[in-house]
Amino acid sequence: MPDPWTTEENPFSPSMAARMRVTEIREKLAAGEIRAAVVGGGKSGLAAAELLLSRGATVQVLDDKPLAAEAKARVPLASFGAIEAGLLETAELVVLSPGVPRSRPELAASLARGVLVGEIELASWFIRAPLVAITGTNGKSTTTALVAHLFEAAGRRTFAGGNLGRPLSELATSGESVDVAVVELSSYQLESIVDCTFDVACWLNLTPDHVDRYADLETYAFAKRRILEARAMHGVAVLNASDSWAAHAGLRLGGPIRWFSARPHSDLAGPMGTLAGSSGPAVRTDNGEIERYDLENPRLPGLHNRANMAAAIECARALGVAPAQVQAGLQTFQGLPHRLELVATARGARWYNDSKATNIDSTLTAVRAVSGPKILIAGGRDKGAPWDELVELIAPDLVAVLAVGEATPIVMKAFAGRAPILEDVGTVERAVARAAELARPGASVLLSPACASLDQFKNYEVRGDLFRRLAQDLEHKERT
């Protein structure tokens, strides 16, 4: 497997001066004597503001849009304003929400002063439980939820959040007593960690994404690599032996590594790790000891989910969950909504809500996991990646492609001459109605858009909820 890294210098790694500055900031915050600015008034930003206020800080919340009254009510002691460099000049601590790029010119001075950190970094200062961090272009939400479920099945009090669900700052503010915190981390969140350390750092995979935020794939990979650089002194890396970016980053950085793969182990994997394979039980080896795990869970279809389960096994075993407890958790996990979620059976076809597939690679994964003839509903806000591989993979099984949203011209061009039926239907509602006309026994209707949802929806959850409701309405009408 070739090493894709061309240099060791990570543009997102904090300097020694920045680390020292953060030490000073933590001391001032502990004394309740600090002026802080939170940039971004979304879920993570408001949670960070609440945490800072609970610690006696003076807080201003800055956002490009005026915050709604209910948002302001969450932090009544904060002041509010727009994201302007002048308002950040006096801040001794600047906490950045993941949705706000560090490259914004208004943040340049704060970065130069070493006072800018992310919400995850802030929260980590107040959490004593072991942190299990999980990142990857695809699969990180499912794996995070699964790892948390494995700990819960073992009787451990568990927090699950970060990029998935609750911001980590909510745990820090609440004072909840937990045995372990499992956090999904996006590349955006990893860019702005400084002192935060992880007891287990899991990197699932890396494929092209967020081309609007990163100059190239290696820059995106460097943001992801921060998860390994932030391991605790005896922290364990859980790495995909089949992913060259993750595998070679682990080898370059050193430290304890546990491998996982759904493909035959490469030479990188060595004797320690979990091999899921394409079928049958997963096999885990540890210094000559062998453990076997049944991965047959209908809520987790496809080879990609076998890889996710293998990663979850390693994360749980790294913190001492017993094999029998791991197995019990693997069998009882119910999956996550919007991730290849089987929502209905109507017109003889299976209807899958895969609204979380907001990039080409996610849709490729879904297409590989679902067998038989397919009606694909695709489109939304395109992210700029090429569609060629997806078209080649799905074309032999296509019944139809139904294009929706802003990316309709791109979808129509990509599948021209390759789909028996190719239609511009415009909306998810019309796509479901047309799919119902085309569906046949044994086929799959797959909402796997390969695009973001923000052209027509608030987020992918709203898009998926609509699809689920419409598909279930069809199923209900057939039964009554």
Which of 283, 263, 287, 264 minimizes the C-alpha distance to 274? 283
Is the same domain home to 135 and 278? yes
Say if residue 161 is exposed, middle or buried (CB neighbours under 10 Å; 0-12, 13-18, 19+): buried
Mean pLDDT rounded to a whole number for the chain: 95
Query: Given CA atoms 75, 79, 84, 85 in this order, what sign does their dihedral have?
Result: negative
- How many separate domains does the chain show? 3
Would you place residue 213 in the very low, low, confident or very high pLDDT band (cuts 50, 70, 90)? confident
The answer, yes or no, to whether residue 344 has pLDDT greater than 60, is yes
Q: Assess whether 162 and 258 both reside in one domain.
A: yes
Quick one: pLDDT band at residue 403, thresholds 50, 70, 90?
A: very high
Q: How confident is the model at residue 260 (pLDDT cuts 50, 70, 90)?
A: very high
**Residues 167, 171: Cα–Cα separation, whole Å:** 8
**For the chain, how big is the Rg over CA atoms in Å?**
23
| Phi, psi angle pair for 351, to nearest 5° | -115, 120
CATH code, domain carrying 400: 3.90.190.20
pLDDT value at position 299? Answer: 87
Whether 211 has a pLDDT exceeding 90, the answer reads no
- What distance in Å separates the CA atoms of residue 476 and residue 323, rounded to the nearest whole number? 41
| Mean per-residue pLDDT, 137-141 | 92
Q: Which of 258, 305, 281 is nearest to 140 (CA)?
A: 305
pLDDT mean over 175-200: 97
Give the catalytic positions in this structure.
Answer: 140, 163, 210
8 Å CB contact between 183 and 220: no
The one-letter code for the residue type at 363 is T
Higher pLDDT, 69 or 287: 69
> Strands, E, within 190-250: which ranges?
198-203, 231-240
Structural domain span for residue 65: 16-122
Query: Which whole number is the average pLDDT over 368-384?
Result: 95
> What whole-number distance in Å separates Cα of residue 417 and Cα of residue 336?
35
Whether 258 maps to a domain, the answer reads yes
N- to C-terminal Cα separation, the chain: 56
Is residue 142 assigned to a domain?
yes
Q: How confident is the model at residue 332 (pLDDT cuts 50, 70, 90)?
A: very high
**pLDDT tens profile 262-317:** 987 655 555 689 999 999 999 999 988 999 999 999 889 899 999 999 999 999 99
Of 315, 332, 349, the position where a domain reaches its end is 332
Q: Quick check: is 298 in a domain? A: yes
Per the domain annotation, does 3 fall within a domain? no
The mean pLDDT value for 414-425 works out to 98
Q: Quick check: 80 and 61 in contact, CB under 8 A?
A: yes
pLDDT at 47 over 80: yes
In a domain, 1, yes or no: no
Residues 277 and 326 in one domain: yes
Q: 112 with 151, same domain? A: no
Query: Would you call 197 exposed, middle or buried from its count of C-beta atoms within 10 A (0-12, 13-18, 19+)?
Result: middle
Asked which of 92, 122, 152 is the last residue of a domain, the reply is 122
Whole-angstrom CA distances from 64 to 5, 67, 77, 83, 100 are 36, 9, 20, 6, 10
Whether residue 8 lies inside any domain: the answer is no
**Is residue 142 domain-shared with residue 238, that is, in the same domain?**
yes
Checking if the pLDDT of 474 tops 80, the result is yes
Among the listed residues 472, 392, 457, the one whose alpha carbon sits nearest the alpha carbon of residue 427: 457
List the CATH number of the domain containing 26: 3.40.50.720
Whether the Cβ atoms of residue 61 and residue 100 lie closer than 8 Å to each other: no
In a domain? residue 7: no
Name every residue whose Cβ is closer than 8 Å to that of residue 52 and which is 6 or more positions away in sequence: 29, 36, 38, 59, 93, 95, 122
Residue 444, domain member (yes or no): yes
Q: Are residues 376 and 407 in the same domain?
A: yes
Q: How confident is the model at residue 271, as a pLDDT? A: 64
**Cα–Cα distances in angstroms (integers) from residue 280 to residues 276, 326, 467, in the given order:** 8, 17, 33
Is there a single domain that holds both residue 328 and residue 410?
no
The domain that contains 134 carries what CATH number? 3.40.1190.10
Per-residue model confidence (pLDDT) at position 268: 54
Q: What is the pLDDT of residue 269?
A: 52
135 and 110 co-located in one domain? no
Regarding whether 305 and 213 lie in a shared domain, the answer is: yes
328 with 369, same domain: the answer is: no
Distance, CA of 374 to CA of 388 (rounded, Å): 17
> Based on the number of CB atoms within 10 Å of its own CB, is 233 exposed (0-12), middle (13-18) or buried (19 or more)?
exposed
pLDDT of residue 441: 96
Which distant-in-sequence residues (6+ apart) come within 8 Å of 325 by Cβ? 150, 153, 154, 155, 316
The answer for 303, left when phi > 0, alpha when psi is -120 to 50, beta otherwise, is: alpha
- Does residue 352 have a pLDDT over 70? yes
Tens-digit pLDDT profile for residues 141-152? 999 999 999 999
